[in-house]
Chain A
Amino acid sequence: MNIIYKLLLYKHVSRARLAGFLLAGLVGAGIVLFGVQAWSDVHPFFSPDDGFIRKDYIVITKKVSALGLVDRRASLFTPDEQEELRRQPFADRVGAFTASRFQVSAGIEAGGSSFATDMFFESVEDGFVDVRSDQWTFAAGDAEIPIIIPRNYLNLYNFGFARSRDLPKISEGVIGMLRLTVRVSGNGLRDTYKGKIVGFSNRLNTILVPGTFLAWANDRYGNSAVTGDPARLIVETRNPADKEIARYFREKGYEAENDKLNDGSVVWFLNLLTTFVVAIGLLICALALYLLTISIYLVIQENSEKLKNLSLLGYRPREIAAPYEALVVVVNLVVALLAVAGTLVARSCYIPFLTKIWPEFSPGGAWPLLVCGGSLFLVTCLVNIVALRARIGKINAR
């Protein structure tokens, strides 16, 4: 063993104190690393950029009240109301759903038997449609109408109806091959078109046709007595957790369709929880760091005569500090490695669970853990070493 290490460290550093630091440091670093890694694994579910929960778009309606029976206009958005909504800071874009003002029925003919139902169409500006298809066009005179239906409908059929009747499940591809017979009537006209389902929307809960078709068809078949004001609007926003949105909607009596707004509070809660957990972890880390620094101060104090003698022998302050610095680096490295390993083990426990409840879940890398562990290691070493050198410099000064 190097003599100076033997002189300064061997039998002079209390194992109990070291063990205390190891334990405290491990708990602190473990909490910080686990908090950061768990947050980075889970937050994509709640993130606006990801597809799992879309929170960029809020579809709003007016509250349906008894008054609506008398005055149908009460549930429509007037141009003034739309304009005011557009001016709100949270609204990046506002789109209106246009409804069909004519009679529509659609049916399927298969194997001699046929099935048809009355229905309606809506359209919205293409920028709000979350399905990209080159078939999503209509020009006056076309015989085929592209249609987008909510993915829910297919799921309802496949997982509800088909299962209960022991019918085969239908894939999206098969649906795309179906040809619907769409009968449109109004203004004394009656025409038949082919309908083709070109996609499934997660965002828009309606039966959607291209705006060009609806404008043309409303003009041709539409009942001009029915107002063209929309009953539903779609709002694009950067931050659905913005409290201003909820306040504005409440004040105006608008309702957000499904609970998109709540996703914001889930994200908010997740962030708060993570911040809280990480803050506690950091606090414990800081206390552990303090403990280690104090322990080293104590060792230096206990050995101050020895350090003084070394300096009189010609040892420079840096050379005297070196064994302590090595100790600090090794101890902090052990803490960091154990904390990283512990978090990896914990992660391997919760990943299968997450995969079970979210089948789309694909775990990100463990890099937040490694980056965080590495930085924690560097910061603790730096703080310790700076404190140490200052202390030894003081003893050495004379």
Chain B
Amino acid sequence: MEQITLQGALPRVFRASFPGDSDIWNNDVSFSRGRLYLVEAASGKGKTSFCSYVYGSRDDYDGSILFDDQAIPRLSPGAWGEIRRSSLGMVFQGLRLFPELTAVENVCLKNRLTAFRDEAWIRAAFERLDIADKMDAPVAKISFGQQQRVALIRALCQPLDFLLLDEPVSHLDEENCRRAGELLREEAALHGFGIISTSIGKHVPLPYHGTFHL
């Protein structure tokens, strides 16, 4: 996938009272593979909706979203499975980790689908993000900031064209924020994928190519 395009997309809840001051909603916007984007907004502007629409987990919007030339509502559950393991990744705001599994099991649950990373890479990633000691801890027992880093590692366990990040560092301190940014920048450069990161204030330190206001 080379391009994600939004054509006049607008959440249906905004239909009645949309002020028309968004770079994305009700506009034609394209995101290209290999480039880094920041989507900034105050609360309630629809950041999570934006990520959910692109990731295909919700479709309560008008207008259309296209992957290259394909309109995404036409994709089957099986096709979404394929896209989500080989092309499009996401770190959810709510993380969607499985609390009863350990941190490393959560990562492996994704990696066994793609077989994209080996054990050494996963261990190294845990070390880089300073959570190596939590690898075998149940996710329910670690802090939200630590969980955010587990979710980030999990999201990198697949071939990517685009990675969506929904407020991925909201609970990280400056140092960990920097580490996360570094890892993401390296991986994006190495594999050539694009990043679309949303933020209400604290954002991942990356050399962004473009910034949008929702």
Contacts and interface: CB of A to CB of B under 8 A. Distances in A.
B56 to A, nearest CB: 9
A315 B81 contact: yes
Interface stretch (B10-18, B90-98, B129-137, B195-203): B90-98
B80 A311 contact: yes
Interface in A1-40: 3-4, 6-7, 11
Given A7-B100, A309-B98, A398-B58, A314 B109 contact: no
A194 B66 CA distance: 108
Contacts of B72: none
Contacts of A318: 78
Nearest to A10: B100
Nearest to B79: A316
A313 B113 contact: yes
Q: Report which residue of A312, A313, A317, A393 has the largest number of chain B beta carbons within 10 angstroms of its beta carbon.
A: A313
B31 interface: no
Given A309-B98, A312-B55, A312-B90, A3 B112 contact: yes
A6 B101 contact: yes
A313 B77 contact: no
Contacts of A316: 77-78, 81-82
Contacts of B143: none
A298 B136 CA distance: 30
A165 B85 CA distance: 95
A317 B85 contact: no
B84 A397 contact: no
Contacts of A312: 55, 57, 84, 90, 92, 96
B129 to A, nearest CB: 19
B59 interface: yes
Interface string A355-398: 00000000000000000000000000000000000000100111
Interface string A298-331: 0000000010011111111111000000000000
Contacts of A313: 84-85, 96, 109-110, 113, 154
Given A398-B57, A398-B59, A311 B110 contact: no
B148 interface: no
A23 to B, nearest CB: 29
A7 B98 contact: yes
A312 B57 CA distance: 7
- Place the interface of chain A in its size category: 20 to 34
B41 to A, nearest CB: 22
A3 B101 contact: yes
A314 B113 CA distance: 8
B105 A3 contact: yes
A314 B96 contact: no
B59 to A, nearest CB: 7
A310 B106 CA distance: 11
B158 interface: yes
A12 to B, nearest CB: 9
A169 B90 CA distance: 96
A219 B96 CA distance: 106
Contacts of A397: 77
Contacts of B80: 311, 314
Contacts of B183: none
Contacts of A311: 77, 80-81
B29 interface: no
A314 B77 contact: no
A317 B78 contact: yes
Nearest to B95: A309
A393 B114 CA distance: 22
A317 B109 contact: no
A285 B16 CA distance: 56
Nearest to A320: B81
B60 to A, nearest CB: 10
Contact of B109 (A7, A11, A393, A398): A7
Given A3-B105, A398-B57, A314 B98 contact: no
Contacts of A6: 101, 105
A4 B109 contact: yes
A314 B85 CA distance: 5
Contact of B98 (A11, A306, A317): A306
B113 A315 contact: yes
B206 interface: no
A3 B55 contact: no
A6 B101 CA distance: 8
A224 B43 CA distance: 123
Nearest to A2: B112
30 contacts: A3-B105, A3-B109, A6-B105, A7-B98, A306-B98, A309-B98, A311-B77, A311-B80, A311-B81, A312-B55, A312-B57, A312-B96, A313-B84, A313-B110, A314-B84, A314-B86, A314-B110, A314-B114, A315-B81, A316-B78, A317-B77, A317-B78, A317-B81, A319-B81, A319-B113, A393-B77, A396-B77, A397-B77, A398-B57, A398-B58
Interface of A: 3-4, 6-7, 11, 306, 309-319, 393, 396-398
Given A3-B112, A312-B57, A314-B81, 11 more contacts: A3-B108, A7-B100, A312-B55, A312-B90, A312-B96, A313-B84, A313-B154, A314-B80, A314-B82, A314-B83, A315-B113
